[in-house]
Amino acid sequence: MGTNSNRAAPLRVIPTKQWQQRTTAALAAVVLLPFLYSGHDQLTQLQKIQQRGSLTLLTRNGASSYFIGPEGGTGPEYELAATFADYLGVGIEVVVPDAFGDLGTLLKKNQGDFIAANLTRTPAREKLFNFGPDYAKATTIVVYRRGQPRPRKLADLLGSRLAVIADSSYEEQLEAAQKKLPDLQWTAEESLGMEGLLLAIADGELDATLVDSNIFNINSQFYPSLKMAFALGKEQPQAWAFPPGDDDSLAQKARSFFRLIRENGTLAAIQSRYVDSGNNLDRVNMFQFMKQVRGRLPPLLPVFQEVATVFDLDWRLLAAMGYQESHWKADAASITGVRGIMMLTRRTARQLGVIDRLNPEQSIEGGARYFLRMRKRIPERIPEPDRTWMALAAYNMGWGHLEDARVLTQKQGGDPDRWQDVNDRLPLLSQEKWYRQTRYGYAHGYQAQQYVDNIRRYFDTLVWMETRAHPMLVTQL
């Protein structure tokens, strides 16, 4: 793709109102630019972007499009757009409007360069925008709550509490169906995103909604009580939308870009990264986790946040550790004698100065300090997040066993400073052939492997909830 020095600038997510004010001034400056180009009456869209050195993405906040992850902007649409910006040799800015319907308005007002938000290319929209090439296909599906009567056709939704995103292709489909089913009614939600609709169904506040199959595949792991009822129509293409008019220079550039990333595998790699469920919790575990986010986390949340602030940690990581250890039960205990939210042993608690392991504040603070003790011992040359994952493994099975795993990794030609290589060897610590070669001997390698994997999944879920202002979590924050 080539490198781009402009990408070094930090990502700026600009609220719509602030962006409108800035765009007015920017547009005034752009009016003067053509005079700098002798022989050219007007700059094309592509030239304007190259002149200002940045590409403005219009998108929506969500798992299938764009959100702020632990390392900054992420999401399938954002990754594609950022790669496109690299291809153009410019930086990228992101504008997230308050409602889905505002995307088209901002694009028509030239307050963004293109829309990348799982947008279905429909005949009606083709009259409003220029479109780039199709890069995905999706079927509209009806989603309902498990345990409720399964609707099998639109007629089964008569009298149901049905809601969809306003100004979406879903509403277009319902309006078309209403010609044959005049009693079909629904609510068009302007401010509620797809995650909010799915949560409302999970909570029993709504009966059904319409969603693209690829969006549901990405989100379904977070809503284990939801299920697909039936598909509505055939597959429809999804594409980026560009400003209307004769100037399609940016759309043309997008066509050459998508040809390239199809051929070199980048498109498939980005798309599979977000739909691959290999690192997802199973439905039962996710259901239990979400249940405790609502039930047990609220009174503990201020403690996790305060302790995290004091020790310069991410509260979501601490909370994920606490859930893995005890499911956030302050009086948790095991047959081995570990107790409390962070399941500290008597010896560890004594070393950390924890007097009452059943006291949530003391337990969480003790767990944070013990984790930092482990992380401090990780060589500084090992970068994040690998240092954190190794520290978690040491937290679970002890520093010596982690060192044994790193030694085995090196013996087998792996990189002992790379978490994935070490993680692959953890199970060897449970096999006599291998642990006899180590200094500290047998260890529950599989258990430590699962321990770190689970914490990473709980952490990712909490990040997902907080960065999307998830209704289940935002009221607590």
In order, the DSSP letters of 198-263 are HHHHHTTS-SBEEEEHHHHHHHGGG-TTEEEEEEEEEEEEE--EE-SSS--HHHHHHHHHHHHHHH
55 and 98 assigned to the same domain: yes
User: Do 76 and 147 share a domain, yes or no?
Assistant: no
* Of residues 398, 339, 401, the one with CA closest to residue 373: 398
List helix spans (H) across 276-345: 283-295, 297-310, 315-326
Same domain, 203 and 141: yes
Token pair in block for residue 35: 């005079």
Instruction: Count each helix (H run) and each strand (E run) in the chain, helices first.
Output: 21, 13
**Alpha carbon distance 5, 2 (integer Å):** 10
**Residue 313 burial (CB count, 10 A):** 18
Per-residue model confidence (pLDDT) at position 433? 78
Same domain, 128 and 84: yes
Residue ending a domain, choose from 275, 300, 321: 275
Residue-wise pLDDT tens digits, 123-173: 989 999 999 999 999 999 999 999 999 999 999 999 999 999 988 889 999
Domain CATH code at residue 359: 1.10.530.10
Say how many domains are in the chain: 3
Query: Are both 465 and 359 inside the same structural domain?
Result: yes
- Residue 338: C-alpha distances to residues 216, 296, 317, 326 (Å): 40, 20, 20, 10
Is 388 domain-assigned?
yes
Rounded to 10 deg, the angle between the 249-263 and 76-88 helix axes is: 110
**CATH code for position 19:** 3.40.190.10
What residues in the chain have per-residue pLDDT under 70? 1-41, 68-72, 275-283, 335-336, 467-477
Check whether residue 309 and residue 405 sit in a common domain. Answer: yes
Beta bridge partners of 344: 339
Give the closest residue to 221 by CA, choosing from 147, 277, 272, 270: 277
Q: Verify that 253 and 321 share a domain, yes or no.
A: no
Sign of CA dihedral 196, 309, 402, 395: negative
Q: Name residues whose C-beta falls within 8 Å of residue 393's C-beta, 6 or more positions apart in sequence.
A: 402, 405, 422, 423, 426, 448, 449, 451, 452
- Indicate if 330 and 270 belong to the same structural domain: no
CB atoms within 10 A of CB 87: 20
Domain C-terminal end among 275, 301, 323? 275
Q: What pLDDT, on the 0 to 100 scale, is given for residue 274?
A: 73
Model pLDDT for residues 438-448, shown as the tens digit of each residue: 888 877 888 89
Q: Are 49 and 90 in contact (CB under 8 A)?
A: yes
Copy the structure tokens of residue 459: 């952490």
Is residue 270 included in any domain, yes or no? yes
- Whether residue 461 contacts residue 289, with contact meaning beta carbons closer than 8 Å, is answered with yes
In the set 189, 325, 365, 466, the catalytic residue is: 325
Angle at 142 (CA atoms; ends 138, 145), nearest 5 degrees: 130
Cβ-based neighbours of 10, under 8 Å, separated by 6 or more: none
Q: Which amino acid is at 438?
A: T
Helix, strand, coil fractions of the chain, as percent rounded to 5 = 50, 15, 35
Residue 210 belongs to a domain:
yes
Is position 159 within any domain?
yes
307: which residues sit within 8 A by CB, 6+ positions away? 313, 315, 318, 361, 364, 365, 368
Bridge partners (DSSP) listed for residue 136: 238
170 is in which domain, residue-wise? 136-237
The yes-or-no answer on residue 306 being catalytic is no
Whether residue 205 sits in one domain with residue 113 = no
Mutual angle of helices 249-263 and 266-275, in 10-degree steps? 80
Shared domain for 158 and 228, answered yes or no, is: yes
Cis peptide before 360 (omega within 30 of 0): no
**CB atoms closer than 10 angstroms to residue 268:** 11
Tokens of 442: 């047998």
Assigned token pair, 416: 């002992």
Q: Assess if residue 207 is contained within a domain.
A: yes
From residue 358, how far is each of 195, 302, 330, 344 by CA, in Å? 36, 17, 6, 10
pLDDT of residue 260: 96
What per-residue confidence (pLDDT) applies to 79? 92
Query: Which of 397, 411, 406 has its CA nearest to residue 445?
Result: 397
Question: What φ, ψ does residue 285 adopt, rounded to 5°?
Answer: -65, -40
Neighbours of 52 (CB within 10 A): 16
Q: Domain boundary residue among 219, 253, 275?
A: 275
224 and 258 assigned to the same domain? no
- 280 within domain boundaries: no
Determine, yes or no, domain membership for 248. Answer: yes
> Contact 10/92 with Cβ under 8 angstroms?
no
Tokens of 393: 């493994």
Q: Are residues 464 and 393 in the same domain?
A: yes
